[in-house]
C-alpha cells in the first residue's frame, strides 16, 4: 500500500495513478470514471477530482497532472439530474463553485486529455486545465442554453478569452458542438491527435514538462494565467518579478552552468 492518501483512497468516481515517465518527477493521472453517465460531473466526483489535484500539487514526486475521461466522453457536463429539481437557495447552499475555484489555486500544470464529449461543465473543466490535448473525435460545446441556463463554471469568461467574442458568442448562444479541429483553429486546444493515442500524447506532453525545473514551471504557469487578469503593465511587472525570483533558485545556476559545460542539467527543484 502506498502512504499517499490519493492513491489509497477508494474513490467512487475517479481512478487515480502516478505514472512513471522515466523522469525524476511523475505524472499525476486522474481518470473520470462514470462511463454510464458519460462522466457527468456530480458533486461527489468534483470533490474527488479537486481533493486529488490538491494532493498531487503537494506531492514532491509529481511534476504535472493529467485529467482524462474515456474514448466516448471527457465529461458531458455537470450532472443535470442532480440540478434538475434544485432551487436557487439549494444551489446557493451547495456552494459548488467554491470547489471549482480551488482548481485555480493549483500551482503545477494540469493537462486535459479529451476524447469524445467535452460539454458544459466538461468543457469548463477542460478549460480550467492549462492545456488541452484533444482526440480527433473530441466534441466541445456549451449547450447549457438548451437547458434554460448559461455556463456557470467559467465558460462565458474562459471561452471568450481563449477564442474571442465572435466564436464564444456563437457557441454559448446556440449550444452547438464543435470538432477538435475547429477548437484547435480557434485557439482552445493545444494539439489534436488520433483518438487511439490521445492519452499517450497528453502523458508525453506531461513527461516533457516533468523534465523541466519545477519552480520555473510553476512561475511560468502563474505568469501566463495572470495575463488574463492584469493590464499589460502589471503583467509585465509580475513577469519581471518572477524572472528575478528564479535567479534565487539553485536550478537557475545549475541550468546555465550545464549549458556552458555542454551537459544535461541536474535539477533539484529548489
The answer for residues whose C-beta is within 8 angstroms of residue 193's C-beta and 6 or more apart is 133, 134, 135, 136, 201
Rounded least distance, CB 139 to ligand DAK, Å:
8
Phi, psi of 215 (to 5 degrees): -70, -40
Q: Is 69 in the site for ligand DAK (CB under 6 A)?
A: no
Q: Binding pattern to ligand DAK, positions 142-161, x when CB under 6 A?
A: -xx--x----xx--------
Nearest in space to 160 (alpha carbons), one of 190, 133, 129, 124: 124
Binding to ligand DAK (CB under 6 A) within 99-138 occurs at 100, 117, 119-121
208 is written with which cell numbers? 516533457
Residue placing its CB nearer to ligand DAK in the complex, 111 or 172? 172
Pick from 28, 63, 69, 77 the residue near ligand DAK by CB under 6 A. 77
Least CB distance from residue 163 to ligand DAK, whole Å? 18
Binding residue for ligand DAK, selected from 79, 130, 201, 239, defined by CB under 6 A: 79
Write the burial class of residue 193 (CB in 10 Å: 0-12 exposed, 13-18 middle, 19+ buried).
Answer: buried
User: CA–CA separation, 16 vs 232, rounded Å?
Assistant: 39
Q: Is 79 or 130 the residue whose CB approaches ligand DAK more closely? A: 79
In DSSP terms, 68 is beta-bridged to 31, 113
Q: Is 10 among the residues known to form the active site?
A: no
| Active site (annotated) includes residue 78 | yes
Cβ-Cβ contacts under 8 Å for 142 (sequence gap 6 or more): 119, 120, 123, 124, 151, 155, 159, 171, 172, 175
Q: How far apart are CA 108 and CA 210, in angstroms?
A: 10
Residue number, 37 or 265, with CB nearest to ligand DAK: 37
Given 121, 122, 141, 155, which residue is catalytic?
121
Query: Residue 193: which region, alpha, beta or left (left: phi > 0; alpha: psi -120 to 50)?
Result: beta
Pairing type for strands 177-179 and 139-141 reads antiparallel
Rank residues 38 and 216 by Cβ distance to ligand DAK and give the closer one: 38
- Indicate which single residue of 80, 162, 238, 258 sits in contact with ligand DAK (rule: CB under 6 A): 80
| Binding test (CB under 6 A) with ligand DAK, winner from 16, 40, 113, 134 | 40
CB nearer to ligand DAK: give 56 or 117.
Answer: 117
Active site residue 144: yes
Torsion of CA 152, 155, 158, 159, to 10 degrees: -170
Catalytic residues, which ones?
78, 121, 124, 144
Site of interaction with ligand DAK (CB under 6 A):
37-38, 40, 76-81, 96-97, 100, 117, 119-121, 143-144, 147, 152-153
Amino acid at each position: 500500500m502506498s502512504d499517499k492518501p490519493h492513491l489509497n483512497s477508494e474513490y467512487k468516481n475517479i481512478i487515480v495513478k502516478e505514472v512513471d515517465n522515466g523522469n525524476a518527477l511523475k505524472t499525476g493521472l486522474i481518470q473520470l470514471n462514470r462511463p454510464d453517465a458519460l462522466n457527468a460531473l456530480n458533486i461527489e466526483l468534483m470533490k474527488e477530482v479537486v481533493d486529488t489535484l490538491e494532493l498531487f500539487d503537494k506531492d514532491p514526486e509529481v511534476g504535472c497532472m493529467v485529467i482524462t475521461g474515456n474514448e466516448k466522453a471527457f465529461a458531458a457536463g455537470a450532472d443535470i439530474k442532480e440540478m434538475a429539481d434544485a432551487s436557487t437557495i439549494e444551489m446557493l447552499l451547495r456552494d459548488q463553485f467554491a470547489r471549482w475555484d480551488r482548481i485555480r489555486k493549483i500551482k503545477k500544470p494540469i493537462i486535459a486529455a479529451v476524447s469524445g464529449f467535452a460539454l458544459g461543465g466538461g468543457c469548463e473543466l477542460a478549460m480550467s486545465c492549462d492545456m488541452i490535448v484533444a482526440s480527433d473525435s473530441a466534441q466541445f460545446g456549451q449547450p447549457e442554453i438548451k437547458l434554460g441556463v448559461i455556463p456557470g463554471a467559467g465558460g462565458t469568461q474562459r471561452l471568450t478569452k481563449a477564442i474571442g467574442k465572435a466564436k464564444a458568442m456563437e457557441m454559448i448562444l446556440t449550444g452547438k458542438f464543435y470538432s477538435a479541429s475547429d477548437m484547435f483553429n480557434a485557439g482552445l486546444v493545444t494539439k489534436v491527435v488520433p483518438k487511439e493515442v490521445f492519452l499517450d500524447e497528453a502523458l508525453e506532453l506531461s513527461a516533457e514538462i516533468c523534465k523541466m525545473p519545477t519552480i520555473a514551471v510553476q512561475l511560468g504557469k502563474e505568469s501566463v494565467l495572470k495575463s488574463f487578469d492584469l493590464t499589460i503593465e502589471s503583467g509585465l511587472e509580475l513577469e519581471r518579478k518572477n524572472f528575478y525570483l528564479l535567479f534565487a533558485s539553485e536550478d537557475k545556476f545549475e541550468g546555465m552552468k550545464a549549458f556552458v559545460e555542454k551537459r544535461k542539467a541536474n535539477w533539484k527543484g529548489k
